[in-house]
Amino acid sequence: MTNRLRRTQLFSGIIAAIYCCPGTAPASVFFNFSTSSGMDQQAIDGFNEAGSMWSYYLGDTMTVNINIDFTQLDAGVLGSTSSSRGTIDYSSYKTSLDSDRSSTYDDSAVANLQPGSSFAALINRTANSPNGEGSATPYLDNDGDANNSTIRLTTANAKALGLLTPDNTASDASISFNSDFTWDFDRSDGILSSAIDFVGVATHEIGHALGFISGVDILDGNSTETFFSDDAFSYVAPLDLYRYSDESFANGAIDWTAGTADKYFSIDGGTNSLAVLLSTGATWGDGSQASHWKDNQGLGIMDPTASNGELLQISDLDLLGFDVIGYNIIPEPSSLALIALCGGLGLWIRRSFLI
């Protein structure tokens, strides 16, 4: 699956509760970047800096192997990530996540996962929908078949959970950058108004490789003219276990639908949304891949868009997302900062358009 970051012009916006990277900290995650032939040294240095930004906060002892390249991509696409993924049954995944708990957020997230060997999900646009083939109307799928009992995660995420050896040498991801854009490689003096933050975008794309993904993108992109039975969609990602809507919460299920209805991030079984919305899909949703926070709300590095002159930063919310899918965060994401972030979202809406 390929995840992409788009370029937008942002008229106003705030990123709040961000972490900086002062000095150095004990870093356990090591990034091994394999470069394409003739790649510019500035770009290589930029990826190394982006890797260091994640290493500063991730305390898992492991190596992440990433192929990097400059090439032409679709118009408006800044970067694109293809990650290696594998599957594990839901029960085993919960056991691994429980063993990996390292924060109070982990405790809440694990305690509120659905019990048993399978999970219920709202889904739509399937061949066997009770509302008619391909219907956009959600229905409750809780029959325990493949898509209710399988978790699909990136190999980097699997390493963090101890499901793969931490020094496995196989490629974990490939990241391409669009050579048609003007990039600013030096963040020390801010980002030029005519350029894009290279290190920030690299940090975003590495985030996808680490596991910030949603399988809803598979449903969203494969339910247009041909439809598939719901059990074919065994692509539920770790982050999807915290994906809810008002309707799914009422049904005791996660929300795995492709559509425009609001989806929110919750680590307590959907009871509280933290006022954090998720993107809903490039095809049937809000226009952004589901593997992101909601656009235009200043939520963090995993926002789906970036603009000229914008300095991209990792936020507490980003770190919380990685914490509850199996990474050990140094330090634990700040409760105070997270509350401050969620309390003022209404003031941070910004207008954007795709160039």
Per-residue model confidence as pLDDT tens digits over 169-210: 999 999 999 888 999 999 999 999 999 999 999 999 999 999
Mean pLDDT, residues 268-292 = 94
pLDDT digits (tens, 9 = 90+) for 72-103: 888 888 988 999 999 999 999 999 999 999 99
In the chain, what is the greatest distance between 2 CA atoms, to the nearest angstrom? 58
262/292 Cα distance (integer angstroms): 13
Domain encompassing residue 330: 2-354
pLDDT tens column, 52-74 = 999 999 999 999 999 999 888 88
Q: Kindly report the average pLDDT of the chain as a whole number.
A: 88
* pLDDT score, position 273: 81
In the chain, % of residues over pLDDT 70: 86
Query: Which amino acid is located at 284 in the chain?
Result: W
**Total domains, the chain:** 1
pLDDT of 52 reads 96
